[in-house]
């Protein structure tokens, strides 16, 4: 476990376990690297190196007031990869982490990355645009922001329960809520706004590495028709893998299938 300095007053937390082929995990909103516990342990057992990064504002990373957008997150990834001198990375982005990964691939043209896995990725565009009428109304996210301002703990508790299609224990639900509550309240709001407003479609054509798009068919947070199917169509030679018994949280809903697919994809 270590911290990487990405700005004079900002450090990003990294958990680096194991040896072998490096798999870098980028968490979703509003969590931290800890949500991948049930991926780390099986993958480590099979000889992979698992690297979990807490985005600034989340988990154990520093929580500055400014700079919560996908350009900044991509820059932080770049500096972490440089500091660890990572090569031949499989970059795994879940939910908002998928959007971060897509922006990194577009901005840095996939530097140091040889494979990309998008898990329930909240990208490229969640809300309606003139040329993207299938997106959601901005009001959906504005209402969610209002709930965060009114009662962040209850809002995040409800969200943590709602991302899963399969039943989870009350202990797991509480654990996910506790992870979400570690995040800076300011970062939680600012990154939700970034997700609401983002249009990352120009980045998709710049992705030239093998890409696996894994998505739950019952995902209500990032509906498959406005995310995974759009990504699959735009990313050359990508593969779309449906998780037939999953909602947004495929890392728990179908953990065995996800772990097997990751190992198959990484090789």
* 85 flagged as catalytic: no
CA nearest 120: which of 165, 187, 65? 165
Instruction: Report how far residue 72's alpha carbon sits from residue 182's, in angstroms, rounded to the nearest whole number.
Output: 20
Residue 96: is it exposed, middle or buried by C-beta count within 10 angstroms (0-12/13-18/19+)?
Answer: buried
What's the length of the chain?
Answer: 267
219 given a catalytic annotation: yes
254: three-class secondary structure by DSSP: coil
Please tell me whether residue 107 adopts helix, strand or coil conformation: helix
DSSP state, 119?
E
Beta bridge partners of 53: 14, 26
Secondary structure element (H or E) that encloses residue 224, with its range: none
| Catalytic residue of the set 215, 232, 248, 253 | 248
Residue 197 catalytic? Answer: no
C-alpha triplet 166, 220, 31: angle, nearest 5°: 75
Give the residue from 255, 238, 3, 265 showing the smallest Cα distance to 123: 238
Query: Which residue in the list 32, 61, 76, 95 is annotated as catalytic?
Result: 95
Using CA atoms, how far apart are residues 72 and 7, in angstroms rounded to an integer? Answer: 11
| Separation CA 247–CA 243 (nearest Å) | 8
Number of C-beta neighbours around residue 149 at 10 A? 11
Q: What is the DSSP letter of 248?
A: S
Q: Which residues are catalytic?
A: 95, 219, 248
């Amino acid at each position: 476990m270590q911290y990487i300095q990405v700005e004079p007053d900002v450090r990003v937390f990294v958990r680096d376990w194991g040896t072998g082929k490096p798999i870098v995990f980028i968490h979703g909103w509003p969590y931290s690297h800890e949500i991948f516990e049930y991926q780390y342990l099986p993958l480590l057992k099979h000889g992979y190196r698992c690297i979990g990064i807490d985005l600034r504002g989340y988990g154990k990373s520093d929580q500055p007031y400014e700079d919560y957008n996908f350009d900044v997150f991509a820059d932080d990834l770049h500096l972490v990869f440089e500091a660890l001198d990572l090569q031949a990375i499989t970059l795994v982005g879940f939910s908002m982490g998928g959007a971060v990964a897509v922006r990194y691939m577009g901005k840095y043209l996939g530097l140091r990355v040889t494979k990309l896995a998008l898990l329930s990725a909240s990208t490229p565009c969640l809300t309606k645009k003139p040329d993207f009428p299938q997106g959601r109304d901005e009001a959906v996210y504005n209402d969610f922001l209002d709930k965060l301002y009114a009662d962040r703990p209850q809002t995040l508790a409800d969200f943590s329960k709602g991302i899963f299609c399969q039943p989870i224990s009350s202990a797991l639900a509480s654990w996910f809520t506790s992870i979400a509550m570690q995040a800076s309240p300011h970062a939680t709001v600012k990154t939700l706004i970034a997700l609401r407003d983002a249009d990352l479609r120009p980045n998709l054509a710049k992705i030239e590495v093998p890409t696996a798009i894994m998505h739950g068919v019952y995902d209500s947070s990032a509906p498959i028709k406005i995310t995974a199917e759009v990504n699959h169509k735009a990313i050359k030679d990508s593969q779309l893998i449906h998780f037939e018994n999953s909602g947004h949280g495929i890392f728990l809903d179908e953990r065995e299938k996800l772990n097997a697919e990751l190992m198959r994809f990484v090789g």
